[in-house]
Each structure stands twice: as structure tokens, then as C-alpha cells.
Chains A and B, each alone.
Chain A
């Protein structure tokens, strides 16, 4: 890597650190750095945990977006818009509803399974292998995602609203909220860490697949294995992110879009740019949600959606323009 190509990465990670500092400093109660550092009431530890969760979830969603978009060749493939996150949310809520008190690992496994199920349904609805490589699959994807997302989120809301205990635990979670305290998020956090590292290693294989299945095969990389590997990582990342912070849409759309703009055609570099972008983005969204509605809070998922709707329009414009000129 040359020095000029290293610069954006350094700047992005610096921005990420700045977002972290802001997130520690600003809350629904404004507290100076001095009070924060005095170690009073475990305030720093509390906010640090919350910021860590926001950064991990943001990076996970951005990475899942980069890989899903690389795999489908479709800039609209965000785990939120495609309904993968919503499937994970429905499975997690259903698990908590029908098997109460199993703890974090059960929720995590259910969320990962739900993400996988929603991904399979999406694949079938968007046209399956028959439509692969045609431009129109790009435009069918968000429609199929809308259907899956609406169905899964309505069913999940139904389970939540009919049970007082579920309401207390999941009502804010379902619109995408970073947890203020750790309940049992260590499992999902560890899963995100592992899958992020695995994702970077898989980017090389994925880039080969982008050249065509036969090309990849002749270079000794089985395309089917690549697809299975990447989909597995996406499902784990999305499931773990949902288990922590609920179904957050649009972050996996905007962060990869910006990362591709910064990093150019290289998939690995886009992946590396997307991680700090997603982490900083969600941390800032969470901080903004705490600040703009004092003394209440606006959940990070809602802040992201507020920016994500225009983001979707922006990505669509570039996609349709490209399709128009091609």
C-alpha cells in the first residue's frame, strides 16, 4: 500500500476516534471530560460500553453491506433494506417469546438463523439464479426486501405488543436502539469481532468471484464455496448486530456507498474503509439521538433512517443513471 492510499484510512480511523470521544462526552446529561475522567459512578465505563456496542454494530452492518453488495453486484443490497435484519429480529423476538430466559446465546443463534431464512426468501423472490447478471434483479431486490421487512417487523411487533414483559425489553429495540447497559451482549460482540476478521480474508475470494465464476474456478477458488462463505459471514454479522441493537436499516447501504467512493474499485480497500465509516456513523447517530431530544432519547435506528431515506434516493440516482448510460 502506498502512502497516498494509506491516508484515507488514517483519516477515517481518526474520525472514528473523534466520534468515540463525542459519544463519551455527550449524553442526555451534558458532562464535562473532567467529571467523566474522575471515575464517578462508573459513568465512563457505562458510556464506554454503549459506545463500544455502537461501534461494533456499525462496523458489522457496514461490512455485511460491502460483502452482500460485492456478492450480488448490487449497490442496493443492504442487510436492512433487503429484510435480512428484519428476519433476524423476528427470529430473536420469537425465541425470547416462546423460550423465555435462555440468555444471550439462544437469542444470537436464533437471530443468525432468522437472518439466514430471510436471506434465502429474498434470493427466491428477487429472481434467484435465473435473474443473476441481469440489470433488473438490482431493482427487484428492494421490493422483495420491503415485503419481507414489513412482514417480519409486523409479526415481531405483534409478539412484543401483546406481552408486557416483552414490551419492557424489546419495544425500543425493535426500532434499532443501542443498549445503554450490557445485558448479555458479550457473545454477539465476540461473534462480530471474529466475523469482521474473517470478512477481510474473504474479500480476496469475493473479488475473484467478481471476475466471473469460471475465472475464479480456474484460479483454484471454488465459486460455490466463496458464495457460501460470504453469505455465512453476512448472516453472522447481521444476526449478531440485530441481537445487540435491533434491526437497523440503511447503515449497510450508506457506509459501503461512501467507502466505494473513497476506495475505488478494490473490494478489500472498500471493506477497510467501510469499517470505520460504519462505526463512526452509528456512534454519531447514537450520540445525536441522545442530544437532540434531551431529556429523552431518539433511538439510533431512527436517526439512521432519517439520513438513510435520502441516502437510498442518492444511491438509486447513481444506479439508475449508470443503467441509463449503459
Chain B
């Protein structure tokens, strides 16, 4: 817990800067009065929902990534690399097109992608999971694009912005839905913290400690599905965030592998910073936050492969 403190402080600082920054910078006094005044347009309508969603989506995806990496003991098998985020995006677009409920739609998409990857890669090793996941993700992404382009009043630019992951549609209703899922998941993680920390030790150790590995697996998969769905619902399919958050959190804090809370905090820090950067890059136009995350996350994957290049079989 103690090593979470620096990241938590960094997150608070980043959130305050994100509230202050944008097309017009706002001083601390104006932020404070804006937060208390329900009619303040810039803070209450524009920036507060956006910062809440950035923190929430970042925490959800960071936590989902750390859970998935722990469950599979594979640093590459995160929801964004193996296609779950893209599946959730497809589910969201399908629900949007048919008028169904959005959160269950996104969760269904993520679960379907997970099932497809699991069935395809059964018994073929860790790398097969990742490669089939890339294929499933690419398929889901193309199908989502087709759905969005076909939608009645969709412009190509808007579809591209949503598909790259954007926080421009941020409102308090979306933030509420996201935070209720995130809150429930965090509570579940806190309750099961002791059992979750054995996940990293392998099935035999878990069984020896009197924990049913199968039940833990279902719990983790359910949490990952819900977190991925809620994150994608609020911000579109954001790539590389879940993959980057946990290793970066461990590098900063020196925490041991479960590192669920540090990963969530680091994810929140990354997305808040990326969103601020996106708003500063294009103050007038809408610039997708997901692109900024890719510009951070893709080089980390390059670094990961580079560092790992001598160990030819990952």
C-alpha cells in the first residue's frame, strides 16, 4: 500500500492540471469556485466529466490489464492486445445500431472476443493466444468501422475519432455508469485481494492454500470483461493502455507482481496525461486521446520486444 502513495499523489496533481488546462488555462481559485458552482460551464460541464472519465477509464483498463497479465502469466495477454477492447467496441456499435442497452452490449462483445480467442488458441501456448487475439481484434475493429460508416448521420471523421478512442463525448451520465462498474470491481478486488495475490503463484500453490483455481479464474474473467466493457463504453477502443500500465507501475513503485492498485492508478495517470496532451495538441479541433496513448504504448511494445530479442521464444 505504501508504494501506491507516490502514484496517487501524482494522479491528484495530474487531475488538477487537467482541470486547469485546455484552450484557456484556469487558476486554482477559479477551479475551486467552479467545482462548487453547479452552473460553471467550463469546469462542471466540460472539464470535470472529462477528467472523471479519463481517470475512470484509465483505472479500469489498467486494472483489467494487470488482472489479465496475472491470470495468464503472460505480459502480452492484455485486453487491448488480444482483442477484448476491440470486441467490446464492436458490441457497443451493435447495441447502438439495434437500440439495445449499451453496457451489456459492450460486455457481450468483450466476452465473445474472449471466447473466440480461448477456443482458437486452446492448447497452443502463450504466443498463440496473443496472435489469435490480434486477428480477432482486427476483425472486430473492421466490423465496427463498417457499422459506424453505415450509420445514418455519421461522418468519416467522427467514426475515426471514436474508433481511435476519444473522450470528447464526456458527460456526467457516462461517468456515473463507468464509476459504478469501476467501484464494484475495486470492491471485489479489495475483498478478494488475498486470494488474488495467489493467482501469480500457479494453480498448485492455490490448491494447496485451499483456493479453488477454477473459481478464481471465472472471477478474474468476469472482472476483466466488466472493466473492459465499461472503459470502452466511455471512451471507445483505446489500445496499449492496459498493456503499458502494470509494467510501468511496477517499474515506478517496485511493487511485486499482483500490483493491481498501482496498475489502476498508473492507468489513470497515463490516460489523464494523454487526454490533457490531446486537448493541448488540438485546442480547437477534436483530437482522439487514444492516438496519444498509442504513441506512448507502441514504443513500449517496441522496447519490450527489443529487450526480449535474445530470448527468442517469449
Contacts and interface: CB of A to CB of B under 8 A. Distances in A.
Interface of A: 121, 124-128, 130-131, 134, 136-137, 139-140, 142-144, 146-148, 150-151, 153-155, 157-158, 161-162, 167, 171-172, 175, 249-250, 292-293, 296, 298, 302-303, 305-306, 308-310, 312-313, 316-317, 320, 324
Nearest to B137: A309
B142 to A, nearest CB: 4
Given A131-B312, A161-B282, A309-B141, 7 more contacts: A142-B131, A151-B298, A151-B299, A158-B281, A161-B161, A312-B134, A312-B135
A74 B76 CA distance: 22
Nearest to A302: B145
Contact of A143 (B130, B146, B310, B313): B130
A134 B313 CA distance: 10
Q: Is the interface of B mostly helix, strand, loop or mixed?
A: helix
A167 B287 CA distance: 12
Interface of B: 76, 81, 120, 124, 127-128, 130-132, 134-143, 145-146, 149-150, 156-157, 160-161, 164, 239-240, 281-282, 285-288, 291-292, 294-295, 297-299, 301-302, 305-306, 309-310, 312-314
Contact of B298 (A154, A172, A310): A154
**A-B CB proximity, top 10 nearest:** A309-B139, A305-B142, A151-B298, A154-B294, A147-B301, A312-B135, A309-B138, A150-B298, A306-B142, A313-B135
Contacts of B164: 154, 157
A320 B305 contact: no
A315 B132 CA distance: 10
Contacts of A131: 309, 312
Contact of B135 (A143, A292, A309): A309
Given A146-B301, A157-B160, A167-B157, A310 B149 contact: no
A182 to B, nearest CB: 21
A309 B136 contact: yes
Contact of A161 (B124, B139, B239, B288): B288
Contacts of A292: 146, 150
Most interface-central of A137, A148, A154, A316 (chain B CB within 10 A): A154
Nearest to A250: B138
Which of B124, B136, B309 gathers most chain A CB within 10 Å?
A: B309
B314 A140 contact: yes
A142 B295 contact: no
A63 to B, nearest CB: 22
